[in-house]
Structure 1
Amino acid sequence: MGARVTMRDVAREAGVSPMTVSRALKQDGSVNTATRTLVRQAADKLGYVYDTTAQAFRAQRSGFLAVTLPSINNANFASTHRALTQSLVGTDLQLLLGITNYRVEEEERLMRQLLARRPEAVVLTGGHHNAATRKLLVSINVPVIEIWDLPPDPIGHVVGFSNAGAMALVVAHLVETGRRKFGFIGASADSDTRGAERRHGAVEAARTFGLPEIVQLDAGPAPVSMSDGARAVEKAGDILHNLDALICVSDPVAFGAMMALQRMGLTVPDDIGVTGFGAFEIARIATPRITTVDVGAEQIGQEAGLAILSLLNGSQSSDAPLRITLTPKLQPGNST
Structure 2
Amino acid sequence: MKNNNKSKTKDKLAWLYLCNLVFYFIPMFVDARELSDDLISLAIIPVYVLVYFQAYRCPTKQVHYPILGLLTLAIIATPFNSGSMALFSFVGFFCGFHYSLKRLAIIIPIIVLLLFGLNIWLFPNYYFFGYASAIYLALSLIGYASSQKGLANRQKQQSAEEIKTLATIVERERIARDLHDLIGHSLSSISLKAELAETLIQQNRLEEAQQHLSELAEISRNGLSEIRETVSDYKCKGLANTVTDLCKRLREKSLVVSLTSDIPSQLSARVESQLSLMLTELGNNILRHSQADECEINFEQTQTSLKVTVMDNGHCESISEGNGITGIRERIKALNGEFDYQTSPNCIFTIKLDIHKEQQ
Name the TM-score, length of structure 2 as normaliser: 0.25
Q: Which has the higher strand share?
A: 1
Q: Identify which of structures 1 and 2 has the higher relative contact order when contacts are C-alpha pairs closer than 8 Å and 6+ apart.
A: 1
Q: Which has the higher helix share?
A: 2
